[in-house]
């Protein structure tokens, strides 16, 4: 994820004049978002997925602290800079894992149930074909399992942050 509000992937093709008006609207909206980030620390587009924004922000900030910071607690389990940086890197690893796309072996089969000549293949009772229902069920189960793993990683990272909250400075 990129925290930059000036994301070029938000734009439509500049080659087609019918999209120029939409692109200008997006362009000016991004300046509004940049101004909001400067003045408030967040912007309207951050509301849409606040948990992801904050997780990415914490991961990037703690990673920079581990990489470029010169301070460390100096007592207890963090009596050396190496131990402190290793702990911070573990937090970053867990936060980035919670943002990653985990593989779902049923993804291609699931997508195939929506494509083709008959968009939703339906039997004579107007229900999904049993094989496709099974694929969709397995895909949903795997997606839920992946989301639970990511949520648990996020909770573990937040517990680790809670443990050193007062020491996150440089």
Show me where the domains of the chain are located. Answer: 1-48, 49-167
HEC sequence for the chain: CCCCCCCHHHCCCCCCHHHHHHHHHHHHHHHHHHHHHHHHCCCHHHHCCHHHHHHHHHHHHHHHHHHHCCCCCCCHHHCCHHHHHHHHHHHHHHHHHHHCCCCCCCHHHHHHCCCCCCCCCECCCCCECHHHHHHHHHHHHHHHHHHHHHHHHHHHHHHHHHHCHHHCCC
Q: What is the pLDDT along the chain (170 residues), one digit of tens a residue?
A: 566 666 655 656 666 777 777 778 878 888 888 899 899 988 888 888 888 889 999 999 999 999 999 989 988 899 999 999 999 999 999 999 999 999 999 888 888 776 554 555 555 555 667 777 888 899 999 999 999 999 999 999 999 999 999 998 87
Predicted pLDDT at 130: 74
Predicted pLDDT at 143: 95
């Amino acid at each position: 994820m990129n925290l930059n509000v000036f994301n070029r992937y938000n734009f439509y093709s500049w080659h087609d004049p019918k999209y120029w008006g939409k692109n200008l609207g997006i362009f000016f909206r991004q300046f509004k978002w940049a101004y909001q980030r400067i003045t408030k620390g967040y912007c309207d587009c951050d509301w849409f997925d606040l948990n992801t924004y904050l997780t990415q922000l914490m991961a990037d900030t703690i990673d920079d602290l581990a990489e470029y910071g010169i301070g460390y607690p100096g007592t207890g389990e963090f009596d050396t800079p190496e131990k402190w940086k290793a702990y911070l890197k573990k937090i970053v690893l867990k936060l980035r894992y919670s943002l990653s796309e985990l593989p779902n072996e049923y993804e291609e089969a699931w997508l195939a149930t929506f494509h083709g000549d008959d968009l939703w293949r339906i039997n004579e009772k107007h229900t999904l074909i049993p094989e496709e229902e099974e694929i969709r069920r397995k895909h949903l189960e795997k997606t839920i399992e992946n989301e639970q793993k990511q949520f648990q990683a996020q909770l573990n990272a937040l517990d680790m942050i809670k443990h050193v909250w007062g020491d996150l400075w440089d």
